[in-house]
Structure 1
Amino acid sequence: MKLLLISNSTMPGEAYLDYPKHEIKKFLGDKPLNALFIPYAAVTFSFDIYEQKVAERFAELGFQVKSIHHFSDPVKAVKDAEVIVVGGGNTWQLVRMLHDNQLMQVIREKVKNGTPYIGWSAGSNVACPTLRTTNDMPIIDPKGFDTTGLVPFQINPHYLDANPEGHGGETREQRIEEFLEINNDMYVVGLREGTMLLVEDKKMQLIGSRTARIFRKGNTPVELSSADDLSFLLK
C-alpha cells in the first residue's frame, strides 16, 4: 500500500495545500497521473469549488484532478482511478456519502491493490477503521461508523496539546482517553498540524518537524518523531 495521511491542508498564512505539496510530489513521483478527487466532506461550499482548489495545486505538481461528482458511476470511477485523493471537511458528511455511494469497500480493495491514496483531515480519518476519533460535529447520520480500515489504528488530526485560552472543556487528550476506555485494543495517533504519515508497504514514518503523540489504553502516551519507526502501528 501507498498512503499519505496528512493532518491538515493549510498552515496559517499559507496558500491552500502549500506545505504538503512537495511531499505529495515525492509520493506520486514524476509520472503524469490522473487523480480522482473525493470532495464529499465539503459542506459550506460546492464540490466544484473544492475541485478547483485542489486541481490548481495538483496541476502545479504535474497531475490532473477530476472530482468523483462528475461521474455517473462512482464505483467504476474508483476502480479506474490512478490515484485516490480524499479532501478534508466534515468527516460525518464524508462517511455518509461514501456509504450512500457504496465506496468504502471498493476504495479499500483498490488501495490494498496498490493505488496511491492521499487524504487530509477527514480524508485521513476515513483511512482508519472508524470515524470515531474525528473532531467534527456529527451533522448527519453517517449510516455506520466503520470506514475503510486501510490502517489498523486511529488518527486524531489537528491534534492539540491544550485547550484554547478560556475554554474549560475536556482537552483532546482527555477525549482520546475516553475513546480508549471503550476501545481498549486500539492505538490512536495524535497527528499535529504540519505533519503527515507516509505508509509504503509495511513501513510507516512521520513527516514534519513536530512529533506525533501515540496513545494506548494502559500506557503513558509517547512522543515519536520523524526519526522513529512507526511501522509497529501497522501490525
Structure 2
Amino acid sequence: MPSLRQALLLSSSNCHGYSMLEFAKQEICSFLEKNNVKELIFIPYAQNDFHGYTAKIKEVIDPWGFNVTGIHSYPDPANAVNSAKAIFMGGGNTFLLLKRLYENNLVELIRTRVNEGNLAYMGSSAGTNVATKSIHTTNDMPIIYPPTFDAIKIVPFNINPHYIDRVESDKHKGETRDQRIYEYMEMDHCSPVLCLREGSMLLLDGDTLAVKGVAGATLFLKGQKKTDYPVGADVSFLLNEDKDIV
C-alpha cells in the first residue's frame, strides 16, 4: 500500500451523458485497486436519507468489485474510519456534512489518517468541499451551522465544484459564479480556489496533484485573472503551502 496521502476528489457524481459515476469509473477503480481496497465505507452525512443514498452508491460501485457499506451501519463512526482502508464522502449539503463530521469527531481523525497514508479518501461535490481548507466556496445554502468553516484540509486550498463560467441565458443579469468567487478573493482570509467543472476531478498522489476526468478546471488567485487547466494538467504547485501563490 502506498505510504503517501491518497485522494480522489470529484466535482460531482453525475455528469451529462453518463450514468451515475460512470465518467469516473476507470479512475475510481484504479484508485481503489492501487490502495488495495475491497471494502469501501460510504459517508452519506450530506443528506438525510442515509440508507437510500448508500443504496444508490452501493448499486453502482459493488458491481465494479468493491463492497460499499454506509458508515451509519457501524455502532461507532470513529472506530469505523480508524479501521478502514478507504472512505467515500458523498455529496449533498456541505454545511450539514461538515456539522455531522464534527459531531462524530471525524474531521481530525480523517485528516491524520489520510496524511499518514493510512486512509484513501474519495469525495464528491460536498464530499470534495470538506476535503479542502474550508467550505467558504461551496455553492450550498447555509441551512445549518457547523462549528467552523474550517474543513479536513487534505489539500491546502479551496475548491468550487459544479463550476460553470457562463450563464445559462444571455437574458440573465444576476450574479455569475465568477463574481461570487472574486468576492471571496477580496477577503483577507481567502485561499486559492480551484473550480472543477462537471466531469472534472483531482487525483492526489503524495506530493503530486493532477486534473483528471472528462472536463478541466479553472484556478482563481488573489489579484490575478483566472487560469484554465485542461484534463491531465499538473497542479501540484497548489500543494505547496509555503509558496505565496495567493
Question: Which residue does the alignment assign to 1:36?
Answer: 41
Distance 2:188 2:128 in 1: 19
Question: Which residue does the alignment assign to 1:54?
Answer: 57
Question: Which residue does the alignment assign to 1:22?
Answer: 26
| TM-score, length basis structure 1 | 0.94
Q: Is the contact between residue 127 and residue 147 of structure 1 (CA under 8 Å) also seen in structure 2?
A: yes
Q: CA deviation at 1:183?
A: 4.1
Residue 152 (structure 1) aligned to one of 144, 151, 156: 156
Question: Structure 1's 153 and 74: CA in aligned 2 closer, same or farther, altered over 3 A?
Answer: same
Question: Which residue does the alignment assign to 1:66?
Answer: 69
- Pair 1:125-2:120 in alignment: no
Distance 1:127 1:234 in 2: 13
Q: Is the contact between residue 32 and residue 62 of structure 1 (CA under 8 Å) also seen in structure 2?
A: no
Q: Is the contact between residue 58 and residue 65 of structure 1 (CA under 8 Å) also seen in structure 2?
A: yes
Distance 1:32 1:182 in 2: 40
Mapping of residues 223-234 of structure 1, within 5 Å: 223-234=228-239
Q: Residues 29-71 of structure 1: CA distance to partner in whole angstroms, max 9, x if unpaired?
A: 174511111000114xx11011111112211211111111111
Distance 1:233 1:11 in 2: 25
Distance 2:190 2:8 in 1: 24
Q: CA deviation at 1:229?
A: 1.5
Q: CA deviation at 1:227?
A: 3.8
Q: Is the contact between residue 37 and residue 85 of structure 2 (CA under 8 Å) also seen in structure 1?
A: no
Question: Which residue does the alignment assign to 2:172?
Answer: 167
Q: Is the contact between residue 3 and residue 200 of structure 1 (CA under 8 Å) also seen in structure 2?
A: yes
Question: Structure 1's 172 and 183: CA in aligned 2 closer, same or farther, altered over 3 A?
Answer: farther
Residue 106 (structure 1) aligned to one of 105, 109, 114: 109
Distance 1:147 1:131 in 2: 6
Gaps of 5+ in 2: 241-246
Question: Which residue does the alignment assign to 2:244?
Answer: none
| TM-score, length basis structure 2 | 0.90
Distance 2:144 2:25 in 1: 31
Query: Secondary structure at 2:150's aligned position in 1?
Result: coil
Question: Which residue does the alignment assign to 1:10?
Answer: 14
Distance 2:128 2:120 in 1: 13
Q: CA deviation at 1:25?
A: 0.4
Query: Secondary structure at 1:167's aligned position in 2?
Result: coil
Query: Secondary structure at 2:23's aligned position in 1?
Result: coil
Distance 1:227 1:95 in 2: 30
Q: Which amino acid in 2 is paired with 1:145?
A: F
Distance 1:57 1:203 in 2: 28
Q: Is the contact between residue 128 and residue 154 of structure 1 (CA under 8 Å) also seen in structure 2?
A: yes
Q: CA deviation at 1:184?
A: 5.8
Question: Which residue does the alignment assign to 2:243?
Answer: none
Q: Is the contact between residue 184 and residue 216 of structure 1 (CA under 8 Å) also seen in structure 2?
A: no
Q: Is the contact between residue 3 and residue 117 of structure 1 (CA under 8 Å) also seen in structure 2?
A: yes
Q: What is the percentage of aligned positions where both structures have the same residue?
A: 43
Distance 1:97 1:32 in 2: 25
Q: Is the contact between residue 23 and residue 213 of structure 2 (CA under 8 Å) also seen in structure 1?
A: no
Gaps of 5+ in 1: none
Q: Which amino acid in 2 is paired with 1:64?
A: N
Q: CA deviation at 1:13?
A: 4.8
Residue 192 (structure 2) aligned to one of 158, 179, 187: 187
Question: Which residue does the alignment assign to 1:75?
Answer: 78
Q: Is the contact between residue 212 and residue 224 of structure 1 (CA under 8 Å) also seen in structure 2?
A: yes
Question: Which residue does the alignment assign to 1:218?
Answer: 223
Query: Secondary structure at 2:47's aligned position in 1?
Result: coil
Q: Which amino acid in 2 is paired with 1:95?
A: L
